[in-house]
Structure 1
Amino acid sequence: MRNSKANKSKKIKSTITFLVIVLAIGLLAYSSAFGFKNIAGYKVKPFSQVINKGLDLQGGISVLEEIKGEEVDNATIDRTIEMLSMRVNPNGAKETTVSREGKNRIRIEIPGEFDAKKVLQNIGKTGKLEFKGPDDKVILTGKDVKDATAYMDQMGQPIVGLDLNPEGAKKFAEATAKFLGQQIGIYMDGESLTKPHVKDIISNGKATISGSKSLEEAKRQANIIKSGALPVTLEAVEFKTVGATLGQNALPLSMKAGAIGIGLVLLFMLIYYRGPGIMASIALVFYVIIVLATFAAANVTLTLSGIAGFLLTVGMAVDANVLIFERIKEEFKLGKSVKAATEAGFNRALSSILDSNITTVIAAIVLYSLGSGAVKGFALTLMIGIVLSIFTALTVTKLLLKLGIEMGLLNSSTHFGVKRG
């Protein structure tokens, strides 16, 4: 009698939990697709409005920079291109393009931006960084700065850390000895950035600048100093906006094709795997939501190649569920109970899932490291999708199957599409 009451209580609890999960996923799916105009005074935007779109889908700004007044070799230009890439796309998530044009020009393309003035401010006046002493003589230039970073010190104060190259370290050691107790000003294109006091003689090429009001201000100063470390002087000679190269209908048509594909996958899972297929479909909807949310949170710029990578990971997420369900079927053929077969199926499928996905992640890492542009975007979306697909299959699907068994929805091998002889 006690066992009967305990089972009934467990069944009710599992049913409530399952319904809450389904309702939550349903609300997330609705808000992801359509958003909400007003929730407690806040507006929730759909993913179509918050995920950045690439130049091929939505157009953007194209900036042409020219190297002024000096002859430079190919290695210097390559270094300049690399540093500009880091400047406009520090985390590699945006589909920006920085490439050489002709002998002494560099083109920068930034998707989703159409304000030339704003883009110029973001790129910065990357030509002339100077450190000047009280006598107004130049001590260091951008060529002497190797790196600049912002961080909080042990006292919780924002600090800008400077790392100088050997030549810059030598010049800075002489300057700090000469101007000990005085100020050395840092200027970007003649405009004062900061004027720190010299407290010690700095001979190792590593200096710190205090006085920033916040970590954000310190980061801004570090970024400006780092951008000023360009080995050449650049001048913006052209701005132009570009339209979506694949037309305005490219994105909606791609999303429609993706939705049809995902719908067919869900239909297959429902027909072939029955009860577990329902659970896998719910988990797959949740997977799509968290992948798109990750894209938005990581400020990923989505292009057609990125959409292809995302849809590929949907297929791999389904593949993980297929492996699990087929293993469960094999356990049923050995005469195991529903609960035991499900647990054993997950355990036996784990190694196969990890092996197939880890090898794909390795390939994606190589593509991301060596590729550029569309290849890099494809690799990034592929990596994010694979990691989240493993998480979804091994946690969300497993939880939903467990709840289904406890509710009595999956209490027979026939619910898994298996007929015992």
Structure 2
Amino acid sequence: MLQIDRWKRILIIGLCVIGLFYAIPNLFYQRVEAHNDAVAMIEKTGVETPELIAARDGWPGWMPSGLVNLGLDLRGGAHLLAEVQLEQVYKSRMDSLWPELRRDMTAARDQLGAVRRVASPEGTLRIEIGEQAGMSRAVEIVRSYSSPVTSLTGAGQSSLAIRTEGNAIIVQLSDAEKSATNDRTIQQSLEIIRRRVDEVGTREPTIMRQGEDRILIQVPGIGSAEELKALIGTTARLTFNSVVGTGTDPDAPVEFGQSVLPSVDQPGFYYTIENNPVVTGEELTDAMPATDQNGMPAVDFRFNPTGARKFGNYTAANVGQPFAIVLDDEVISAPVIRQAITGGSGQISGSMNFEEANRLAVLLRAGALPTELTFLEERTIGPELGQDSIDAGRTASVVGFVAIVAFMIATYGLFGVFASVALAINMGLLFGLLSMLGATLTLPGIAGIVLTIAMAVDANVLVFERIREELRSARGPARAIELGYERAMSAIIDANLTSFIVAAILFTLGSGPVKGFAVTLTIGLVTSVFTALWLTRLLTIMWFERARPRQIEV
């Protein structure tokens, strides 16, 4: 029979109301955006100025405040494509390894003779010894600094590749370690750049890896590419400080030269630390995930000779005491010193999983960019150009919407009105879902919306044409409508399923704007099927129950 259960009617209407409710903020974009910025600034600083209060109160707090974020091509901003100089990392690893090798080899001078480093290609350490007979001992010393590669693809391999030529030992990173180092370096660079960009409060920046050694950076709302380059170059401050006390009061009294800093991993927990650091991030040469003696996740770190000496003296005098690892005035970890760390390297272990260990290693290395970035491409997109894109997209959407509404009403009469109402609600649902997801809308995304408008009525056309065919079979209007929706179902699902597969491929293989197009197209497919199969059917049934027509014209 031509009917829909009451609970289904409530569900359909409820979903439409919720979707439109979350879409409403986009009609008052600037006011809601100012409200969100004011709330974020008040939470960050704890200061309420009259301007911030006015902006915050400009939008009701009980209303949703999620917006569809505008991408770089709509808001304007800066675009950078940076190349990470990975070879410099290999060179730095070898340079930091040489002082420790020289110390151990010098201690074995009676077997090795004179030890010196000679010129070699960057990323390679070439060491010559005076006694050829001591070569096996020299190789043994070098091999003691090699460790298992901490990556799935390099499992079972060592971090150092060691070979001999006459009385010389050539040391460099193994291929497996280079691959793991590349991933860590890119990840570290991404983390640092993201932290730098997030500090200025930009909306939905795109920071992602491209290829083997490149990073794409797109930041909407920033003034110029030069400003973005200066921002990325800012160094995060990483320090290792003494812990005086802990607690849950951010305003706890402190003595001169002390500060109370929040914990990253334990919200609401605070550390009182000495402001004068034991060592700084500039003296940290490396940090990487590892395992402790029990096979549990840990983080290995290493200081340069200056940092090693200072850290060794401090840990020898403070065994059993915690020390704070502070990044940008936040305590990212506070391990307890179990024994004196005098060799320049140590290990952080405790209650962490492998993912947390990897994250801590990234944050430890995030005090400064691990290597130089070479900017291969830079563009500044002015806000005027972005506004032109918005205006053009709005015009295209309105023209497409009006043309389709006119066509549907002219072709299908009252049923065309139902389809037009469903199309309008479909657009509201689309923006409501985009707002709830915090998605970013780009110019290709607008193209996806325009395409959604066209595809939204395609399902209605299939249904209405099927109803026409059923009416020609001399069936009653109620039966014709019911069969029209039932028998058009398979064709509608097939058409939208193929489009969904294409959108999934675009999202998986594409990047940047292509993904934006795929996201809006996918959400549009979902809302279109819902409004075409359920909302228009509900509108038709509600009209039919009131009018009770003996005949209908489609």
Q: How high is the TM-score relative to the length of structure 1?
A: 0.63
- CA deviations over 1:384-419 (Å, ceiling 9, x no partner): 1111111111221111111111121x7254432xxx
What is the aligned partner in structure 2 of residue 309 from structure 1? 448
Cα distance in 2, alignment partners of residues 133 and 197 from structure 1: 11
- CA deviations over 1:90-149 (Å, ceiling 9, x no partner): 9xx957265779x988552211344999989998978787889999689x9874249xxx
* Residue 110 (1) aligns with residue 219 (2): yes
Superposed, 1:246-265 pairs within 5 Å as: 246=385, 248-265=387-404
What is the aligned partner in structure 2 of residue 339 from structure 1? 478
* Residue 169 (1) aligns with residue 287 (2): no
Superposed, 1:246-325 pairs within 5 Å as: 246=385, 248-325=387-464
What is the aligned partner in structure 1 of residue 71 from structure 2? 54
* Residue 396 (1) aligns with residue 413 (2): no
* Residue 193 (1) aligns with residue 211 (2): no
Cα distance in 2, alignment partners of residues 20 and 265 from structure 1: 26
Give the superposition deviation at 1:347. Answer: 1.4
Cα pair distance change 1:224/1:51, threshold 3 Å: farther
Contact 1:126 1:233 in 2 (8 A): no
Cα pair distance change 1:252/1:242, threshold 3 Å: closer
Cα distance in 1, alignment partners of residues 296 and 513 from structure 2: 39
Give the superposition deviation at 1:82. Answer: 6.4
Structure 1 counterpart SS, 2:351 = strand
Question: 5+ residue gaps in structure 2?
Answer: 1-12, 33-56, 91-177, 244-276, 302-315, 339-346
Q: Quick one: which amino acid aligns to residue 415 of structure 1?
A: E
What is the aligned partner in structure 1 of residue 206 from structure 2? 96
Cα distance in 2, alignment partners of residues 50 and 285 from structure 1: 19
Superposed, 1:19-418 pairs within 5 Å as: 33=27, 43=59, 50-62=67-79, 70-71=88-89, 88=194, 94=204, 96=206, 98=208, 106=215, 108-114=217-223, 143-145=287-289, 169=298, 171=300, 182-183=321-322, 185-188=324-327, 191=329, 193-196=331-334, 207-208=351-352, 233=370, 242-244=381-383, 246=385, 248-408=387-547, 411-416=549-554
Contact 1:283 1:392 in 2 (8 A): yes
Q: Quick one: which amino acid aligns to residue 96 of structure 1?
A: T
Structure 1 counterpart SS, 2:475 = coil
Contact 2:322 2:336 in 1 (8 A): yes
Q: How high is the TM-score relative to the length of structure 2?
A: 0.50
Contact 1:22 1:282 in 2 (8 A): no
Structure 2 counterpart SS, 1:70 = helix
Structure 2 counterpart SS, 1:336 = coil
Q: Give the structure with higher Rg (CA).
A: 2
Cα distance in 1, alignment partners of residues 75 and 187 from structure 2: 25
Contact 2:335 2:348 in 1 (8 A): no
CA RMSD of aligned residues (A): 5.5
Structure number with the bigger relative contact order (C-alpha 8 A, sep ≥ 6) is 1
Cα distance in 2, alignment partners of residues 248 and 51 from structure 1: 15
Q: Quick one: which amino acid aligns to residue 233 of structure 1?
A: P
Cα distance in 1, alignment partners of residues 187 and 460 from structure 2: 42
Cα pair distance change 1:227/1:286, threshold 3 Å: farther
Question: 5+ residue gaps in structure 1?
Answer: 1-18, 147-161, 173-177, 210-218, 417-421
What is the aligned partner in structure 1 of residue 310 from structure 2? none
Contact 1:64 1:236 in 2 (8 A): no
Give the superposition deviation at 1:292. Answer: 1.5
Cα pair distance change 1:388/1:332, threshold 3 Å: same
Q: Quick one: which amino acid aligns to residue 60 of structure 1?
A: G
Percent of aligned pairs with the same residue? 33
- CA deviations over 1:206-242 (Å, ceiling 9, x no partner): 8349xxxxxxxxx9xx988755567961578999964
Q: Quick one: which amino acid aligns to residue 256 of structure 1?
A: T
Cα distance in 2, alignment partners of residues 133 and 168 from structure 1: 24
Cα distance in 2, alignment partners of residues 349 and 279 from structure 1: 17
Contact 1:128 1:233 in 2 (8 A): no
